[in-house]
Amino acid sequence: MKNCLIIVNTYKEESRNIAKKIESFLQERKINSSILEFNGFSDIYPFSGYDFVITLGGDGTVLYACRGCAELEIPVFPVNLGQFGFIAGIQPDEWKKLLENYLDGKMPVARRSMLSYKVIRDSKEIATGCSLNDIVVRSNAAVSMVYLELACNGISLGNCKADGIILATSTGSTAYSASAGGPIVDPEVEAMILTPINPFSLSMRPLVINARSLLTVKILPSREKNVILSFDGQTPFELLENDIIEITKLEKDAVIIGPSKEKFYNSLRFKLNWSGGPHA
């Protein structure tokens, strides 16, 4: 380990203070470090050349790091400075001990499936990207439905009339998809969760499919012309009628330091109040 990038979320006041302490700690270990400021939205991923990345923020900062690090196979060490911290499982008061453990090879490392997408317009690929949580195709206007044609590996899933659809990873199953009624899936399961958003038909239910499937979404003509694609809550991309979005598993996985089965299920119990009891 020679080079580390520290991503500082500029909206978290304590992130810069912790970054300085981490810089000093790494310097003592003869590890070079650089600071990258992140304000919640970015499509720039200057991660090449680093051995690992430390994030100081919430889950959004981790999502950003994973989008840039996955294909480079760079591990992400996520320190939670956010309110929820479902993915960022390392707490601010334990970073030093756990970072020392990681550098000594004593920390668990988890691989998380990611999704890739490409947008095809008039037979030309016009946009590509990846996500750790989800990819969303929806209307950008309030109280407006879009009309979508869905297929999995070339097999028709029918047409969907809804406010939109969410394609989530197992990691993202606890995020937007869950709030829209989708199932919670163990993050170690390689799956893609298709969750409709306020579907017109009561029979349109969430669907869990193999993550390595090729899901295609075609924008059909409808009264709503303002249709967008977004990934991990980033700046949306405008879609047009007859655009086709192809979604499948990213070839490489995100590598995250620290997650465990215990932390995942504890997060379900204590952060999502998933207990099944009368006082949940």
Q: Do the Cβ atoms of 257 and 104 come closer than 8 Å?
A: no
Distance CA 20, CA 190 (A): 37
Distance CA 130, CA 195 (A): 18
Q: Do the Cβ atoms of 55 and 75 come closer than 8 Å?
A: no
Nearest to 137 by CA among 228, 223, 25, 268: 228
Distance CA 123, CA 221 (A): 18
**Residue 59 annotated as catalytic:** yes
Distance CA 172, CA 186 (A): 10
Instruction: Let me know the angle formed at the C-alpha of 190 by 103 and 207, rounded to the nearest 5 degrees.
Output: 145
CB-CB neighbours of 126 under 10 Å: 12
Which one is catalytic: 59, 134, 163, 243? 59
DSSP state string for 13-76: HHHHHHHHHHHHHHHHTT-EEEEEEE-S-------TT-SEEEEEESHHHHHHHHHHHGGGT--E
Q: Give how far the C-alpha of residue 116 lies from the chain's centroid of Cα atoms, to the nearest Å.
A: 11
- The three-state DSSP-derived secondary structure of 131-191 is ECCEEEEEECCCCCCEEEEEEECCEEEEEEEECEEEEEECHHHHCHHHHCCCCCCCCCCCE
Catalytic residues, which ones?
Answer: 59
